[in-house]
Structure 1
């Protein structure tokens, strides 16, 4: 454990060093805003003609933020804001003047899709004035609203609360009017609130972003520049209880059989205090979650996918500390297997997922900056069905018992730009199944002047499984300069051989002792040609922990350029030395040696403000020292905006790997590799027609085809020194050739018929085929795909938002 002790000493030394670096003020051009308590509530219609707005002071004098700080805001583009509050909500009025409002970009989109070709206005509110946590409420010039949660190193658009915002236009510009109820906010219960805020105006056509409180480009983070809000006192907020009951009906057909299903449940948000909120989902149903982008997996690691379930995407920033929580584990594939098949038995059905009975999370932050999070979920018993092909009898085998998932996290924020956290995750399975526990210490600390930042984590895993109790350890440490045009970083990553967090987290590799160093140069003020560019170099040296041997070194040169006309391009060149891969052989302690290789990537991205735009990427890699391997890929993603309501995006990705070698099989302790040609073609369509900011038809289509062809019948067996020797592989041990084809189509109509309430009608079609016919072309593969049974699903889901304060009279009547 000497590496563990060394890592902890480094952590402590760097934390102490940063704590004594002198502070640098962020208060230049500092403003403050006086919030006014009101009694006459404005009508939220975007017209700003309520008498109350005429009585409030306007705040203006915005600054340039992007593409650079230089220059002043022309009078014709001035912006003014007004802020008010009562015991129910916060109210904002924004006046955004424009010399030609009819020429503004106004692309329609739906909730949270605010990074479109439209102007936008953002109210960024920090109810703790801590320079770190911030809730942003956004509206576009087409009336689309969005919200996000900004934390130390992330902006999460999965964060969703219910608020109102409407816009209007006249010959002088456009206007926005907000009502943000207190059940959408978290703040401490004190007499005088310590809030801060900033306001952002994005002028898409003019390619500028203005902010009310000055933000210096390239120094610190945006929330550190928020200005104080004064005057918010003696708030007596209502009960923070909101209900989201839902009902869902499904009808599906597959292989001639039709099934129907109806489910109902409810999500609950309850304010345990002014700062802490309980989120719970009762009898959850995630049947309308987006499809996973499945590919043919030839590697040694499991294929993982992003989270599509809303409950696990919203408000989870605390639980992501330390990267030990992978939400797809909850309700994922069963952890058990069927190991006791009798003669003439086969697995008739093995469930692809485990049903979730309920889940809840409690999170919030105290007035002293301590964040507290608690997560708990329970999944039900899950069985596989075994059938005897002689007697036709069936039996069930338990493959996942009743399971409890639990997370506790504490996160202390420091100096408006740093945090130190501890987290514990636990998975307890009923009976003689595997249990797991993981604990972590995480830090992300910068000096007050934001010159340097040190970050890292130390994670201890504990697993109680079939082989008894095992404990593992991982540490990561990075130190970097984060100010100025020239920046650099050094880092170290370590893991022992028994580190395993895969019960509630995800890690593919352990047993490493790696080092990294890098430097970059970038600009933050525009030049005559570029709004921004960055050039960086990175070197990585990889080693095993046990045995202490080198596994390879890589060097990378990366560049990114963004012109004043919003055309982006860049290139990358990297070189990998000879490397030893200890995972591809699938046997502990064995490794295969890969020759040195060099590769490059180039990308182009045109101006998305134009009706037609595109992204284009090309990759190429070649292996050296007589190795015949080559790989190349082309990705082209054109898009066309037919109108402000209709956008269509196409994407084609073609990749080819010639004479690639990889793992085939293990036969009688011999590890077989084979030389293969791999071709992947992926086509997708994303189309959206928006009737208005509340109703839209969306099309999502994806077809992925892959062939793996061992056409030359060149097979080898792995030697102890990582080299390979020619061998003959008998296809009766398993044909490695593959023809893999999958088709997914989602067509939906969404209607946000009231704040927080939505109806979705979804048609889903899926087809899948996999066989060994690796020599057929794409057309023939597609024809065979359509010979397979198709799955058709039509579902209707309705979610309704209920605020307890609007219906509490019903409870009063029932109790009287």
Structure 2
């Protein structure tokens, strides 16, 4: 059945895409700009003479909430554009009859909160596929990102210049974007795709120079055209970012210190491709991980915190096959010891020696990305208590990681991608390889698309294990009414965990989705989203029904900009959980449930904003339920100072889960689990370049086992007294970060960090609050002070300094 359905969907996809294409008749505004011989001062004050005769982009159109409505004269936007031999300039006046009401909350770079903002999206290849965004808030804060048909990648960072000022007419922005930060073909005459946008926060309205139809699913399809740039010579794209850092660590009565140095290098190979390299990297100031008490069969996935791996990742994230935390993650082996030996030292992380990536896209739409990283050999220390001898054992050898991506975009909003990942370890350690082919094909009008993928994984460790993963589907992506039909399967030997992240295997899933949205506000609501889902799962080998799920979600935004919604989920036939027994071919019967939830988020423009969620699972079993809740509060004391607090308690009553195995039996425990998570973030922003941030998190979870069972072959449970281990436990994680950041020059930063952290796991549960904290703080606590300086050096600026010195001499 699964093969027939997947094959039918694939044929239907190909049929839909092969239909006659029609022109979409998207109207594109055009503006012809002129060259200037003198550059304006970038200070947000439009008094430079060069602006007087510059071409003006105006007549903006509302994108939301009233899609297609012309911008009123009282809040009109006028943007003057010029260029010279070094870059392109924008001078914008945003009219506003009440300048004192302009939202201008200060944030760190790349942060937009309660802010009016102005932005430009430039596509040097004019192919509607990828734009570079440059945004300035009314508080003068910069934000930049890559915008593709897949979405917005705000990890991309660029070096450009801007100034913003509130004035009697409203507020103004000046921007200079050097050619070294843009991508465009070598041509005497340039023609770029461009859109310009503005946000007025107090009325939550967005406007664009070129009309953007919200019935379609891609912003990049609706850019206008920028003309007039001629005979420019882009400079050499070469920069160096050396760093110096020092650390003082105090733990368990011992104090250590260290001093580090290294460098990042960025080089523009040509107009399309960029080489990035990190030498002797230092990630000691990365944010802490939100660890939890994990009782599932799968490892916890953490978000990437290291800057080198978060910047410019849109190509490497294709297909979900690269999980960068594997590079410099945990060792792949644990030492084998005998009865008299003890592991006295085991490295928590593997050290990254160096890494580089090459990425870019040609004028014909071919994106190419190549990543390579090398990690060092790591050893564990082992002590023999009988002989008194100590020895070392390699737990991770020298290892090479690489990722290769080819992504061909065409027809405005379609793509085909090929991805390969590889891990090669020195010696007799495990190697791995994975390859995937992905497609995303849209019709000419961008109303329907077909999508899919075929992937294979090879793991070489005392033989070769081969697994596959495949998906195909059809989706309507435009209009009020949308739908999707898709099917996917994953074989039992699918494994990309050497360089990717995969969990559930040996299953097939078939999904049908219908969604409805309004395209224009009603008398009561600005936005309405409704969707309905059906999911059917079964195990592949040997076949067994897993689950059938009906799901409904809805969300609304009213005229006061309050967001709220809820939904239900229902599993009428119960579930056969094939993962919890942790044994191939076995399953655990889980009763069906009815899940319902509601959520609410108040108006984000207010000083006090709050949100809450209540999610309740009622199982078809007496006394079994789950409750997940969230409460969030944010208070903005001023445009400089805000505090965010979240509290997440959850309770699971009479759940069943894996407890252990013997040679003959699988043991399942019935348990009560209570979890509380508190998090606080407070930030004081001195100006657009300097901020002080306090981040706190305390996570507490305890589990109490009530009864143990043996698992029957049919997935049912039989009470047993053969299992008498104590599995009750309490886990605490405590983290405090106090961070001072100063962007003292473009691309250059000084960061001072104080970190306090501790954690514990206790083989007991249901402690009172006082005793729990007493036991937590009796554990050794990490106190860490670090200072890190990074300085951006642009080759062209250094060369100009040298020329000036030579002239003076």
Aligned 8 A contact 1:182 1:240 in 2: no
Partner of 1:355: 351
Query: 472, 476, 479: which one pairs with 1:477?
Result: 472
Query: Post-superposition shift, 1:550?
Result: 1.3
Query: 97, 100, 108: which one pairs with 1:99?
Result: 97
- Tell me the distance in 1 between the aligned counterparts of 2:173 and 2:555: 35
Deviation digits for residues 65-95 of structure 1 (CA, Å, limit 9, x no counterpart): 1112253322110001122222321211111
Query: 322, 333, 341: which one pairs with 1:325?
Result: 322
Aligned 8 A contact 1:69 1:216 in 2: yes
- Tell me the distance in 2 between the aligned counterparts of 1:797 and 1:565: 44
Partner of 1:20: 19
Matches within 5 A, 1:335-354: 335-339=332-336, 341-354=337-350
Secondary structure of the residue aligned to 2:56 is coil
Aligned 8 A contact 1:672 1:729 in 2: no
- Tell me the distance in 2 between the aligned counterparts of 1:812 and 1:399: 52
Partner of 2:743: 752
Partner of 1:41: 39
Aligned 8 A contact 2:452 2:470 in 1: yes
Deviation digits for residues 302-328 of structure 1 (CA, Å, limit 9, x no counterpart): 111000011111111111111101111
Partner of 2:238: 241
Secondary structure of the residue aligned to 1:311 is helix
- Tell me the distance in 1 between the aligned counterparts of 2:233 and 2:303: 40
- Tell me the distance in 1 between the aligned counterparts of 2:43 and 2:188: 31
Query: Post-superposition shift, 1:204?
Result: 0.2
Query: 489, 494, 499: which one pairs with 1:504?
Result: 499
Partner of 1:436: 432
Partner of 1:372: 368
Matches within 5 A, 1:375-774: 375-466=371-462, 468-576=463-571, 577-624=573-620, 626-710=621-705, 713-731=706-724, 734-774=725-765
Partner of 1:311: 308
Partner of 1:254: 251
Query: Post-superposition shift, 1:708?
Result: 0.3
Deviation digits for residues 710-763 of structure 1 (CA, Å, limit 9, x no counterpart): 1xx4110111111110011444xx421111111000001100101111100000
Aligned 8 A contact 1:131 1:417 in 2: yes
**Distance verdict in 2 for CA 1:420–1:81, change over 3 Å:** same
- Tell me the distance in 1 between the aligned counterparts of 2:310 and 2:757: 25
Secondary structure of the residue aligned to 1:319 is coil
Partner of 2:198: 201
User: Alignment RMSD, CA only?
Assistant: 1.8
- Tell me the distance in 1 between the aligned counterparts of 2:22 and 2:610: 45
Deviation digits for residues 449-501 of structure 1 (CA, Å, limit 9, x no counterpart): 111111121111111113x0121111012211112211111110111221111
Query: 784, 789, 793: which one pairs with 1:798?
Result: 789
Query: 168, 171, 194: which one pairs with 1:174?
Result: 171
- Tell me the distance in 2 between the aligned counterparts of 1:4 and 1:654: 43
Query: Post-superposition shift, 1:524?
Result: 1.4
Partner of 2:273: 276
Aligned 8 A contact 1:741 1:782 in 2: no
Q: Tell me whether 1:119 sits opposite 2:116 in the alignment.
A: yes
Query: Post-superposition shift, 1:366?
Result: 0.8
Aligned 8 A contact 1:595 1:627 in 2: no
Query: Post-superposition shift, 1:37?
Result: 2.1
Query: Post-superposition shift, 1:546?
Result: 1.4
**Distance verdict in 2 for CA 1:398–1:812, change over 3 Å:** farther
Deviation digits for residues 509-541 of structure 1 (CA, Å, limit 9, x no counterpart): 111111010112110100011000111110000
Secondary structure of the residue aligned to 1:231 is strand
Query: 161, 165, 176: which one pairs with 1:164?
Result: 161
Query: Post-superposition shift, 1:773?
Result: 1.7
- Tell me the distance in 2 between the aligned counterparts of 1:811 and 1:324: 46
Q: Tell which deviates more after alignment, 746-755 or 181-190.
A: 181-190
Secondary structure of the residue aligned to 1:17 is helix
Query: Post-superposition shift, 1:386?
Result: 1.1
Partner of 1:152: 149
Secondary structure of the residue aligned to 2:347 is coil
Query: Post-superposition shift, 1:234?
Result: 2.1
5+ residue gaps, structure 2:
none
Query: Post-superposition shift, 1:9?
Result: 8.0
- Tell me the distance in 2 between the aligned counterparts of 1:344 and 1:691: 59
**Distance verdict in 2 for CA 1:812–1:201, change over 3 Å:** closer
Aligned 8 A contact 2:651 2:673 in 1: yes
**Distance verdict in 2 for CA 1:585–1:14, change over 3 Å:** same
- Tell me the distance in 1 between the aligned counterparts of 2:353 and 2:192: 39
**Distance verdict in 2 for CA 1:518–1:8, change over 3 Å:** closer
- Tell me the distance in 1 between the aligned counterparts of 2:331 and 2:12: 43
> What is the TM-score with the length of structure 1 in the denominator?
0.96
Deviation digits for residues 351-400 of structure 1 (CA, Å, limit 9, x no counterpart): 11110011000011111111111111100101111122345432111111
- Tell me the distance in 2 between the aligned counterparts of 1:13 and 1:603: 38
Secondary structure of the residue aligned to 1:322 is helix
Deviation digits for residues 585-610 of structure 1 (CA, Å, limit 9, x no counterpart): 11111111111111111100000100
- Tell me the distance in 2 between the aligned counterparts of 1:6 and 1:606: 44
Query: Post-superposition shift, 1:103?
Result: 1.5
Q: Tell which deviates more after alignment, 80-89 or 328-337.
A: 80-89
- Tell me the distance in 1 between the aligned counterparts of 2:749 and 2:722: 57
Partner of 2:213: 216
Secondary structure of the residue aligned to 1:714 is strand
**Distance verdict in 2 for CA 1:354–1:527, change over 3 Å:** same
Q: Tell which deviates more after alignment, 382-391 or 172-181.
A: 382-391
Aligned 8 A contact 2:352 2:374 in 1: yes
Q: Tell which deviates more after alignment, 315-324 or 11-20.
A: 11-20
Secondary structure of the residue aligned to 2:13 is helix
Deviation digits for residues 746-792 of structure 1 (CA, Å, limit 9, x no counterpart): 00110010111110000000011111120212332122101111100
Q: Tell which deviates more after alignment, 439-448 or 180-189.
A: 180-189
Aligned 8 A contact 2:153 2:313 in 1: no
Secondary structure of the residue aligned to 2:771 is helix
- Tell me the distance in 2 between the aligned counterparts of 1:524 and 1:277: 40
**Distance verdict in 2 for CA 1:3–1:423, change over 3 Å:** farther
Secondary structure of the residue aligned to 1:205 is helix
Aligned 8 A contact 1:592 1:723 in 2: yes
Query: Post-superposition shift, 1:3?
Result: 6.9
Aligned 8 A contact 2:186 2:271 in 1: yes
Deviation digits for residues 537-582 of structure 1 (CA, Å, limit 9, x no counterpart): 1000001121222111000011111112110101110011311111
- Tell me the distance in 2 between the aligned counterparts of 1:143 and 1:201: 14
Query: Post-superposition shift, 1:627?
Result: 4.0
Secondary structure of the residue aligned to 2:369 is strand
Aligned 8 A contact 2:13 2:473 in 1: no
**Distance verdict in 2 for CA 1:169–1:810, change over 3 Å:** closer
- Tell me the distance in 2 between the aligned counterparts of 1:98 and 1:545: 62
5+ residue gaps, structure 1:
none
